[in-house]
Amino acid sequence: MAIETQPERAQGSGGGQPAAARSSRPWWRRPAIHTAIIGAVIGYLVGSFLGSYLTGTGNGLYPNVSLSDSKDWPIVLGYAFAVVGWLAGLGVFTDTFRQMIGRPLNGQNTQETEAPGGLAKYFRYELDHKVVGIQYLVGMIIYFCTAGLFAMGIRTELLSPTHHVFSSQVYVEIVGEHGTMMMMLMTSVILGPFGNYLVPLMIGSKRVAFPRVEALSFWLTPCAFLILLSGLLVGGFPFGWTAYAPLSIQSTIGADSYAMAFGLMGVSMILAGFNIIVTVICYRAPGMRWSRLPMFVWAMVSTSFLMVLAAPVLVGGMYMILADRTAQTALFEDSLGGSSYLYQNLFWFFGHPEVYILALPGFGIVLEIIPVMCRKPLFAYKVAAAGMIGVTLLSFFVWQHHLFMSGINPDMRPLFMLTTELISIPTGFIFLVALGTFWKAKIRFTVPMLFALAMLFNFLIGGVTGVFVSDVPADTTLHGSFFVMAHFHYTIMGGLIFAFMAGVYYWLPKMTGIKLNQTLGKWQFWIMFLAFNSTFLPLFGIGMAGQPRRVFEYARNLQTANDWVSISSFFLGGSILLFVINFVYSTVIVREREVGNPWRSRGLEWQVASPPPPGNFERVPVVISGPYEYGTKDAPPVADLHPPPGVLSAAIAQSPIVQAEA
């Protein structure tokens, strides 16, 4: 080979110099969340000033913008510069900039596999995937609870059809905030914490492929969250989470917060997914064949592909909304040569894969937990993987079922009805695998298992009702009603969030070395499961009785049912509160240690200490057998954690690429 592949000296991250010693400056002089906030404020002021200048009537720069009564430029540029300022304040650009001008790295952010002790690291731009995982976990719980509070607001308002707690303006803001925050931020509720933390551990890697990309993907989420919330300060947005044009184009400046936040979250999704894909393809330990990949990793890879392929369309759509709102383009105005259908197609081309971004991680967690708690191998491993791949592929071919009533070409309806119903075949695989694993198993009703079982129950109802809305004649009645709302809450809240809870109870001992209180966990489970079903099951009936979604007022004869739902939803909220209490109580106050392998799992992540040491593994392990070989008396251990030196280089020498080059 002519090209010198060995660098002259060992490289630090990003091809820089070897990592220098960590900075010893006092904490307030080091980039962290406080400098990020300062950066964001400065950025906002700069952007806002620039926007005001551009649109000022005095300067005569762009007459068609400054003469329109657009107030959007200052706020859009303010948000954009605030994001840049936030990231600069965090030190995201520091190393890149220093390398650009040829200065040595200052050791601030060069530790890719380990982080110092203490809590301060969680407030900084750290590159260790284990820190990012914890950051994501806490962040996601905060986002979920905030969005959940908005849901409590919605149900409070719907207690009565005629007496109002909120004004219609406030109500529609709450609906928009709840829907958007849940749908955009919960895309990463499992991939963020568990995907980032556990995938390297599960595939036997010391690190992820792109630590900076991964850390950036997390630090964009607080931006998106705060920008979305800031919309409330300027009147919110009245168009739910879908932002159909032309309503979104005509709305007041609160709509800019929606488009900026959702667009940013789209970027975060692309980055997070990209990192996971490359990590799984390139960083598997020797012996970690695709056929030995844990189901959770399969789910993360399929989710990541969906994110990387679908989110760009969302970013494009949000960009076009902002262009329509600021630069006075007319991409979505039918009367000016655009098309409101263009937005609906763009949005749902992202939006439907997105609901599988919200479903697949749940499948992954459930199929990961069931074999451990059943003490049996996963039934039909290949079918499970095929199910996830099948859902991933098909999810790009179904989006127009959201447009059945919209007046698009009716010829396409049978096709999209077919593709939508086809997707229930690979989804059915997941149930085959779960039920097959139950056969003659030794099922242990631990808290994670309870949540996993509840997820299957909820998803069954969510999936079957999905077939109702895929059928065009039935959908003519059900579309846009509370039936659809109940359907997707069964799949997302009942599927994704129950799986998230299962994951927290299952993996928190791994991630922190601390065990959650199991008694409180059981209480939380039963309240959450019963309240959830009591909340959303009646909503199918309410929707069938003709109550449209997102209404401020409804028919009087539906008040009893709506009150029942509202009261149940408060219990559901209470169960989430109980979770937060348990989380804080167990991890902050009691801190009961759980360092071993409490579930007796064969998973590679459980073969190292809890929490995992810096660098995860002392040496890159050699994987010997699959993760689900329960019940086989003489099954080999899942991996050799201390392989003799030279195994790795021998494995590399055997790889087809190296041999082809030789």
Partner 1 sequence: MAASPTEAPQAGEPKGPNHGLRIFFIWLPLTIAADLLIWIVLGPHLPPGSMTDTAHSQQWDILVLAVLAVPIVAFVLVFAAYALIMWRHREGDDEDGPPIHGHTGIQATWITVTAVIVLFLAAFGTYELAWPGFAGAGAGEGPSAIWTPKGGTPLQIQVIGQQWRFTYRYPQFGGFETTALMLPVDQPVQFNVTSLDVIHSFWAYQLGVKSDANPGVNNIAFTTAKQTGKFIVRCNELCGLWHGAMVNYGQVVPMATFRAWAAHTEVQLAPITALLPAYATVYDPTLIPQINKAMAKSGIAGANGYYYPPNDPVQP
Please, which of residues 218-257 interact with partner 1 by CB under 8 A? Answer: 238-240, 242, 244, 246-247, 250
Among 464, 652, 653, 658, binds partner 1 (CB under 8 A): 464
Among 551, 561, 577, 624, binds partner 1 (CB under 8 A): 551
> Which structure tokens are listed for 196?
């980032």
For partner 1, the binding residues in 478-497 under the rule CB under 8 A are: 478-481
Distance between CA atoms of 566 and 244, rounded to whole angstroms? 28
- Nearer of residues 95 and 256 to partner 1, judged by Cβ: 256
For the CB of residue 378, give the shortest distance to partner 1 in the complex, in Å.
8
Residues constituting the chain: 662
- Nearer of residues 53 and 438 to partner 1, judged by Cβ: 438
408 binds partner 1 (CB under 8 A): yes
- Nearer of residues 237 and 296 to partner 1, judged by Cβ: 237
For the CB of residue 88, give the shortest distance to partner 1 in the complex, in Å.
37
* Binding piece for partner 1, criterion CB under 8 A, among 226-234, 298-306, 438-446, 638-646: 438-446
Alpha helix (H) ranges present in 283-395? 295-326, 340-357, 360-374, 381-394
Task: Name which of 338, 251, 266, 280 is nearest 309 in CA terms.
Answer: 266
429 neighbors 366 (Cβ within 8 angstroms): no
* Binding piece for partner 1, criterion CB under 8 A, among 206-214, 435-443, 487-495, 578-586: 435-443
- Nearer of residues 548 and 614 to partner 1, judged by Cβ: 548
Among 424, 587, 597, 625, binds partner 1 (CB under 8 A): 424
What are φ and ψ of residue 127, in 5° steps? -100, -10
For the CB of residue 245, give the shortest distance to partner 1 in the complex, in Å.
8
Q: How many residues lie near partner 1 (CB under 8 A)?
A: 95
For residue 167, CA distances in Å to 149, 156, 232, 558 come to: 17, 12, 14, 21
For partner 1, the binding residues in 352-391 under the rule CB under 8 A are: 374-383
Among 404, 451, 525, 529, binds partner 1 (CB under 8 A): 404
For partner 1, the binding residues in 315-354 under the rule CB under 8 A are: 334-335, 340-341
Half-sphere exposure in the Cβ direction for 94 (13 Å, CA): 21
193 neighbors 272 (Cβ within 8 angstroms): no
For partner 1, the binding residues in 569-588 under the rule CB under 8 A are: none
> Which structure tokens are listed for 586?
């167990």
- Nearer of residues 392 and 481 to partner 1, judged by Cβ: 481
Binding mask of the shown chain, residues 69 to 98, with x at each position contacting partner 1 by CB under 8 A:
------------------------------
For partner 1, the binding residues in 624-643 under the rule CB under 8 A are: 629-632
β-strands 622-623, 639-640 pairing: antiparallel
- Three-class secondary structure of residue 211 per DSSP: helix
Buried b (16+ CB within 10 A) or exposed e, 348-375: bbbbbbbbbbbbbbbbbbbbbbbbbbbe
Distance between CA atoms of 233 and 391, rounded to whole angstroms? 40
> Which structure tokens are listed for 452?
């996993």
- Nearer of residues 31 and 466 to partner 1, judged by Cβ: 466
- The type of residue at 263 is G
